[in-house]
Amino acid sequence: MDNEYRHSKTTVSLLNYHFVFCPRYRRKIFVNSEVDASFKTFVHSICEENEWTVIALETDTDHCHLFINVQPTYAPADIMKVIKGRTSRELRQSFEHLSKMPSVWTRSYFVSTAGNVSSETIKRYVESQRTIY
C-alpha cells in the first residue's frame, strides 16, 4: 500500500508521513516488552479506525518511528494529536508505572513526507516543464 494512490470522489493522493516522537524526558519506556507490544497494538487500531495505513512502525528504547499513508484531509499535526493523545491515555490506564506521568509523550515530533519518487526527481520534472513545448 505504500506506493498505491488513494482515490476519493474529488482527489487522488499519495501522502506518506514519517514521524519520530519521544516519551517525556526520553524515558526508556519501550524496554518493557509489554509496553512496546501494547503501544504498537494501540497505534494499529487507531490507524485502522481512521483509515490510515501503517507502512512501518518500530520503537527503540526511547523513541518511536511511524511511517503511515493517510488521506489528504488530515494534517500531520492532527495525526500526531490523535496518536499521541490516545496512546498516552491507553498506556497510562494499562501500566501503573506510567500512570503517574501527566503525559507519556513530549509535545514535539519530527515529520517528513515521502512519496514514490524522490524530491530531486520532482524538481527536475517541474524545471523541465517549460522546455517540453
**What digits encode the pLDDT tens for the residues 116-127?**
666 567 667 656
Residue 1 belongs to a domain = no
Number of domains in the chain: 1
pLDDT digit string, tens, across residues 3-44: 678 898 999 988 888 899 999 999 999 999 999 999 999 999
Is residue 37 in a domain?
yes
What's the pLDDT tens digit per position in 70-90?
999 999 999 999 999 999 999
What is the residue range of 108's domain? 6-132
Kindly state whether residue 24 falls inside one of the protein's structural domains. Answer: yes
Whether residue 50 lies inside any domain: the answer is yes
- Residue 107 counted as domain residue: yes
The reply to whether 31 falls in a domain is yes
String of b and e for 49-59 (b: at least 16 CB within 10 Å)? Answer: ebebbbbebeb
CATH code of the domain covering residue 123: 3.30.70.1290
Q: DSSP alpha helices (H): ranges in 4-118?
A: 33-49, 76-94, 96-99
How much is the pLDDT for 1? 43
- CA separation for the pair 79, 85 (Å, rounded): 10
Q: Are strands 53-59 and 110-114 parallel, antiparallel or unpaired?
A: unpaired
